[in-house]
Chain A
Amino acid sequence: MEFTWLSRWQPQILAILRIVAGLLLLEHATMKFFHFPAPLMPGPLPTLLIVAGIIELVTGLLITLGLFTRIAAFIASGELAAAYFIGHFPKSFWPGINMGEAAILYCFLFLYIAAAGPGAWSIDGARSRNAPIR
């Protein structure tokens, strides 16, 4: 009945989840600014999407590296909530139709990371381990 053999790896799996989500968020920024791996839209970006792309670039990098993880994840969570209600929600109530499913997943995942911290393998973790020694 008990399924606990994975629980000893919880910090590592949280780190993997954090890095995967951070890289996927970065991909949205690179699509906006570098048209990589594909352009988000033809023509120049509206100002709002430039701001969104900057937030995604900075917080995506910080979350991936695990530097200022909680603050970066909190800001990213807020950005994705705004993105959902500005970009997706007007199209339809249902996330399966308004294409906002990923935005919802990011939003609540990053909110959780803001509370839970970076898990294993983070710059934050390396810094706080060093702090008591000094």
Chain B
Amino acid sequence: MEFTWMSRWQPHLLAILRIIVALLFIEHALIKLFGFPPAGQPGLQEVGTLLWIGGVIELVTGVLVLLGLLTRTAAFVAAGEMAVAYFMVHAPRGFYPAVNMGEGAILFCFVFLYIAAAGPGAWSIDGARTRGRAVR
């Protein structure tokens, strides 16, 4: 009944989740700021618009979470941005996430909130810095 053989890999799986989520988040930034990949929605944004600012937040927090640098703070900011995105863009289109297309935003929001609480897991700059301090 017990299914615990994976639990010894929890920090590494958290790091893999963190890296995957950050890379997907950066993809949203690249679509908005650089129009890459080309057919991505909502496409290249004008500098200074709300979606462009969203793209900047996604790029900065995405890179920080990816590297595991200032992970908790960056993830908290990203979670907040996704909550705003959900209620501004998706919630007006319909209550159900399957209809309003906001499923990704919800998942990003709660995963980042969890990372803000749990920290980066394995393989992070934060972790390397903390270990460095303990040696000194």
A residues apposed to B, CB below 8 Å: 1, 3-4, 6-7, 9-10, 13-14, 16-17, 20-21, 24, 27-28, 31, 37-38, 68, 70-71, 74, 92, 94-97, 101-102, 104-106, 108-109, 111-112, 114-117
B residues apposed to A, CB below 8 Å: 1, 3-4, 6-7, 9-10, 13-14, 16-17, 20-21, 24, 27-28, 31, 37, 39-41, 70, 72-73, 76, 94-99, 103-104, 106-108, 110-111, 113-114, 116-119
Min CB distance B53 to A, Å, is 19
- Given A10-B117, A97-B37, A108-B21, A24-B16 contact (CB < 8 Å): no
Contact call B96/A74, Cβ cutoff below 8 A = no
**Given A96-B41, A97-B39, 20 further pairs, Cβ under 8 A:** A6-B113, A7-B72, A9-B117, A13-B114, A27-B98, A38-B96, A70-B3, A74-B6, A94-B37, A95-B27, A96-B31, A104-B20, A105-B20, A109-B107, A112-B10, A112-B17, A115-B6, A115-B9, A116-B10, A116-B13
- Given A31-B98, A97-B39, A101-B104, A70-B6 contact (CB < 8 Å): yes
A-B contact pairs, 26 of them (CB 8 A): A3-B76, A6-B113, A7-B119, A9-B117, A13-B110, A13-B118, A16-B113, A17-B110, A17-B111, A24-B106, A37-B99, A68-B1, A70-B4, A70-B6, A74-B3, A74-B6, A104-B20, A105-B20, A105-B21, A105-B107, A105-B111, A108-B21, A112-B10, A112-B17, A115-B10, A116-B10
